[in-house]
């Protein structure tokens, strides 16, 4: 009687092991002095940094949604890992946390070493840019769960902060100024709508030129990482909001106490060309609750700190905080 192997079932353990060996240098390049051991243990280990009076641990997890479909269909895999890291670490800093380490989960129907290595390379690049260590991950080959070329990604980041700094609501007050930090593009939210609009409704292709640039390159521009600029400006910021899923409308209120509201001036927002095009076919309210509109972060800053922020970033004033019931007003 013939016997079956794991490989017969569609899972090649040898390829998986070869992949691990291939990415070891990429992963190791992200390590800092707090990483304990290396790759191959049952768990990644990280020694907590010293110097904190009352440290708390923060955790964030996310994916990149249907932006993955564009990466798969266009066979461009070098930036999607950057998106994965950014979506997690950009959340951590909103509670004044410093990202310490990152882990990834990569699941696919059939492991392609070239594709998977490109993805991990992007993750490692973003970890180094965000000054956090890639200490582990999981690669799962699951035939019949995913089609051969399909894959999914999830990311997990852990950070550290002083306990008395994580709640920013008490720092926000009437008279504060709202400063926008520019996004790099659509980032990683709203891609189901993006794909339906450009490819189903408008009939665009990946190579359709927008301002001389192929559409696919604009759509796959990776999410901007804000960790370094946060560390630089931290002592001059009262609060900050990551403009991610839900857009400005749903994310800015997360840093507002009940007794104030935020006023944003639409004519001051430096929207990107891609949002201008989409706005011709999508209502304004839908745009503002789905996309970042060219703003990746909104900083809440005391008036006396505005000049410092503006001279040490690409930020610009986009609104202010006023007394009144908690809400967002677009003017």
Q: What is the pLDDT of residues 60-107, one digit of tens each?
A: 999 999 999 999 999 999 999 999 999 999 999 999 999 999 999 999
Residue 6 forms part of a structural domain:
no
pLDDT at 127 (0 to 100): 98
Give 40's pLDDT tier (boundaries 50, 70, 90).
confident
pLDDT over 70 percentage in the chain? 99
Shared domain for 39 and 102, answered yes or no, is yes
Average pLDDT, integer, range 216-223? 97
Shared domain for 274 and 302, answered yes or no, is yes
Segment among 38-42, 103-107, 248-252, 265-269 with least mean pLDDT: 38-42
Of the residues 165, 189, 208, the one at which a domain ends: 165
Of the residues 101, 132, 165, the one at which a domain ends: 165
Give 296's pLDDT tier (boundaries 50, 70, 90).
very high
Residue 52 forms part of a structural domain:
yes
pLDDT at 1 (0 to 100): 66
Q: How far apart are CA 293 and CA 266, in angstroms?
A: 10
Domain that holds residue 273: 169-330
- Per-residue model confidence as pLDDT tens digits over 144-192: 898 878 899 999 999 999 999 999 999 999 999 999 999 999 999 999 9
Shared domain for 223 and 115, answered yes or no, is no
Residue 8 forms part of a structural domain:
no
Shared domain for 106 and 44, answered yes or no, is yes
- The pTM of the full predicted model, rounded to 2 decimals, is 0.95
pLDDT at 62 (0 to 100): 96
Shared domain for 239 and 318, answered yes or no, is yes
Shared domain for 296 and 206, answered yes or no, is yes
pLDDT at 201 (0 to 100): 96
User: Is residue 257 over pLDDT 70?
Assistant: yes
Average pLDDT, integer, range 106-126? 94
- Regarding beta strands 35-36 and 213-214, do their DSSP bridges make them parallel or antiparallel, or are they unpaired? unpaired
Give 15's pLDDT tier (boundaries 50, 70, 90).
confident
Residue 2 forms part of a structural domain:
no
pLDDT at 146 (0 to 100): 87
Give 264's pLDDT tier (boundaries 50, 70, 90).
very high
Q: In terms of Cα–Cα distance, which of 106, 102, 116 is closest to 138? A: 106
Where are any strands of DSSP class E within 87-245? 98-108, 133-141, 151-162, 177-182, 209-210, 213-214, 239-242
Q: How far apart are CA 197 and CA 286, in angstroms?
A: 13
Give 38's pLDDT tier (boundaries 50, 70, 90).
confident
pLDDT at 81 (0 to 100): 97
Query: How many domains is the chain built from?
Result: 2
Query: Which 3 state secondary structure label does DSSP give 292?
Result: coil
Distance of CA 294 to the CA centre of its chain: 14
pLDDT at 8 (0 to 100): 60
Average pLDDT, integer, range 257-269? 95
3-state helix, strand, coil in the chain (%, to 5): 35, 25, 35
Q: What is the mean pLDDT of the chain?
A: 94
Of the residues 122, 149, 165, the one at which a domain ends: 165
Helix (DSSP H) and strand (DSSP E) numbers for the chain: 11, 14
User: Is residue 205 over pLDDT 80?
Assistant: yes
What CATH code is carried by the domain that includes residue 233?
Answer: 3.90.650.10
pLDDT at 19 (0 to 100): 84
Average pLDDT, integer, range 195-207? 96
């Amino acid at each position: 009687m013939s016997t079956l192997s794991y490989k017969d079932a569609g899972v090649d353990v040898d390829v998986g092991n070869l992949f691990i060996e291939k990415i070891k240098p990429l992963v190791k390049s992200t390590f800092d002095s707090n990483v304990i051991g290396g790759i191959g243990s049952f768990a990644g280990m990280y020694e907590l940094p010293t110097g904190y009076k009352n440290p708390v641990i923060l955790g964030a997890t996310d994916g990149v949604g249907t932006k993955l479909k564009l990466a798969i269909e266009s066979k461009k895999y070098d930036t999607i890992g950057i998106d994965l890291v950014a979506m997690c670490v950009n959340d951590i800093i909103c509670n004044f946390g410093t990202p310490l380490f990152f882990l990834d989960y990569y699941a696919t129907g059939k492991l392609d070493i070239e594709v998977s290595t490109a993805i991990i390379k992007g993750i490692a690049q973003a970890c180094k840019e965000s000054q956090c260590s890639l200490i582990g991950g999981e690669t799962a080959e699951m035939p019949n769960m995913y089609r051969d070329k399909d894959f999914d990604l999830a990311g997990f980041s852990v950070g550290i902060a002083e306990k008395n700094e994580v709640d920013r609501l008490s720092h926000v007050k009437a008279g504060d100024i709202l400063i926008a930090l520019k996004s790099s593009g659509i980032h990683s939210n709203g891609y189901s709508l993006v794909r339906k609009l450009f490819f189903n409704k408008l009939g665009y292709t990946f190579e359709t030129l927008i301002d001389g640039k192929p559409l696919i390159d604009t759509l796959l521009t990776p999410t901007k990482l804000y960790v370094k600029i946060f560390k630089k400006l931290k002592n001059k910021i009262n609060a900050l909001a990551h403009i991610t899923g839900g857009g400005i409308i749903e994310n800015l209120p997360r840093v507002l106490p009940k007794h104030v509201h935020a006023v944003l001036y639409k004519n001051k927002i430096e929207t990107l060309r891609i949002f201008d095009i989409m706005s011709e076919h999508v209502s304004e309210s839908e745009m503002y609750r789905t996309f970042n509109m060219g703003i990746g972060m909104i900083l809440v800053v005391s008036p006396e700190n505005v000049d410092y922020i503006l001279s040490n970033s690409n930020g610009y004033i986009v609104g202010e905080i006023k007394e009144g019931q908690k809400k967002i007003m677009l003017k």
